[in-house]
């Protein structure tokens, strides 16, 4: 099963993608996580990506597409995957489509996690991410057992630089300009399904599993 998660930054794509990955035993592939791992390890790719990420801009398509196609060509992706944060532009979606068509393959579902802008800024300022393992929390909705400490690995939780309100506003603009058109793109392909992302995360997940079967 090959699934794409769509939605504004902070809509809950990552949260739901991880739950889908667990239930359906497919890898969770997040381009944002791949970029952050590269930044942490000080790679050339990481340094290049950081320039854009810090501004709330998208990393250029050429670079992003290469990273993603390399990732999904790996063995663990053979039986499917859930893409979180890719595609984010029409050209990215087209390249993915062509690559899959060449393999006689296709995306099965594009799940749009729908959350209005008003809710987003609040969600993002409460998001906390583990510096070590990438687990995400929310200070009100999904708090860790001990404040500031990751439940999974015991390391420190931080507010991502790009989750500060000024940058979130840029990211929302970028989302509306460049990513939202994908909703039409996948609607035309007949695979778009929307869920109400303002509900509790378990209710959102129930709506998604009802779609995936």
Using CB under 6 A as the criterion, which residues of the chain lie in contact with ligand ADP when the complex forms?
7, 9-15, 31-32, 35, 52-53, 56-59, 64, 85-86, 88, 92, 123, 126-127, 136-138, 141-142, 162, 171, 200-201, 204
State which of positions 126-145 bind Zn ion (CB under 5 A).
130, 132-133, 135
β pairing state of 127-130 and 136-138: antiparallel
Q: Which of 47, 153, 206, 210 binds Zn ion (CB under 5 A)?
A: 153
User: What is the rounded (10 degree) CA torsion for 9, 95, 20, 120?
Assistant: 10
88 catalytic per annotation:
yes
Does the annotation mark 127 as catalytic? Answer: yes
For position 158 contacting Zn ion by CB under 5 A, the verdict is: no
Q: Out of Zn ion, ligand ADP, none, which partner does residue 46 contact, by CB within 5 to 8 A per kind?
A: none
Query: By CB under 5 A, is residue 21 in contact with Zn ion?
Result: no
171 is catalytic: yes
Which of Zn ion, ligand ADP, none is residue 132 near (CB under 5 to 8 Å by kind)? Zn ion
We find the least distance from the C-beta atom of residue 210 to ligand ADP, in angstroms, to be 16
Measured from the CB atom, is 104 or 132 closer to ligand ADP?
A: 132
- Annotated catalytic, 18? no
Q: Does 26 bind Zn ion (CB under 5 A)?
A: no
Give the active site residues.
Answer: 13, 88, 127, 160, 171
């Amino acid at each position: 099963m090959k699934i794409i998660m769509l939605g504004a930054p902070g809509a809950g794509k990552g949260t739901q993608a991880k739950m889908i990955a667990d239930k359906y035993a497919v890898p969770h592939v997040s381009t944002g996580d791949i970029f952050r791992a590269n930044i942490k390890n000080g790679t050339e790719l990481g340094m290049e990506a950081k320039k854009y990420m810090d501004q709330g801009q998208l990393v250029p398509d050429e670079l992003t597409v290469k990273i993603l196609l390399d990732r999904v060509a790996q063995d663990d992706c053979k039986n499917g995957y859930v893409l979180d944060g890719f595609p984010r532009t029409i050209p990215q979606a087209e390249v993915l489509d062509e690559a899959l068509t060449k393999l006689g393959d296709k995306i099965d579902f594009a799940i749009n996690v729908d959350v209005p802008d008003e809710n987003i800024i609040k969600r993002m300022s409460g998001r906390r991410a583990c510096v070590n393992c990438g687990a995400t929390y929310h200070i009100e909705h999904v708090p860790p057992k001990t404040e500031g400490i990751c439940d999974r690995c015991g390391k420190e939780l931080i507010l991502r630089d790009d989750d500060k309100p000024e940058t979130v506003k840029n990211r929302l603009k970028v989302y509306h300009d460049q990513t939202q058109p994908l909703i039409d793109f996948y609607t035309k392909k007949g695979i778009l399904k929307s869920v109400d992302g303002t509900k509790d995360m378990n209710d959102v997940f129930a709506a998604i599993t009802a779609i995936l079967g």
